[in-house]
């Protein structure tokens, strides 16, 4: 394998935009239709899925290392912001949320998590809103867990604490304004 093309090593956690956080479990070399191909073998534990990504396509599909501490800090800060609720049709918003989640951009995923979060004292969510919220918060939690070397559950608790504190602040300011 050409060492200059390799930007990930076996054991590295990586983010694959469509699937979230996985781990490089192997570097494979195989021949397909007479062409030698170097592959990253990624394992996604939560989905129990293995994915093979050609080394020369890793950048093109948006595969990246875990975010920097600063990027994660910015994403967690985004969670503290005031939720932005657009008045467009749900189907359009759902498509936008899915695109943000699949972009792999941590701040975009945090925005979806923040915008779809409902505190216990807020109205119920629809099933599809809940599904998208869970997908976004899980994606964020898995990257946070990998960075902090903890599990997804502990990372999700941390995220929900931030969201609940922010919701309490935003609800107070709403009550004061009324």
Whether 77 and 138 share a structural domain: yes
pLDDT at 39 exceeding the cut of 80: yes
Whether 135 and 96 share a structural domain: yes
Domain, as residue range, for 161: 69-177
Give mean pLDDT, residues 128-147. 94
Give mean pLDDT, residues 27-53. 91
Whichever domain contains 146, its CATH number is 1.20.58.1290
Whether 93 and 128 share a structural domain: yes
Give the Cα separation of 160 and 51 in Å (integer): 30
pTM of the model: 0.84
Residue-wise pLDDT tens digits, 80-131: 999 988 888 999 999 999 999 999 899 999 999 999 999 877 778 899 999 9
Whichever domain contains 39, its CATH number is 2.40.10.170
Does residue 152 form part of some domain?
yes
Question: Count of domains in the chain?
Answer: 2
């Amino acid at each position: 394998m050409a060492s200059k093309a390799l930007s990930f090593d076996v054991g590295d956690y990586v983010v694959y935009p469509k699937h979230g956080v996985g781990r490089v479990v192997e570097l494979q070399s195989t021949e397909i239709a007479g062409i030698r191909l170097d592959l990253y073998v990624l394992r996604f534990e939560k989905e129990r899925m293995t994915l093979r990504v050609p080394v020369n396509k890793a950048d093109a599909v948006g595969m990246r290392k875990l975010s920097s501490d600063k990027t994660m800090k910015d994403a967690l800060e985004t969670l503290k912001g005031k939720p932005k609720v657009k008045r467009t049709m749900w189907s359009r918003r759902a498509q936008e949320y899915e695109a943000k989640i699949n972009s792999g951009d941590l701040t975009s995923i945090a925005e979806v998590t923040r915008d779809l979060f409902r505190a216990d004292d807020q109205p119920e969510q629809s099933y599809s809103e809940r599904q998208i919220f869970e997908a976004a918060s899980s994606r964020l939690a898995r990257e946070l867990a990998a960075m902090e070397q903890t599990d997804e559950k502990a990372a999700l608790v941390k995220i929900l604490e931030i969201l609940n504190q922010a919701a309490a602040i935003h609800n107070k300011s709403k009550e004061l304004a009324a």
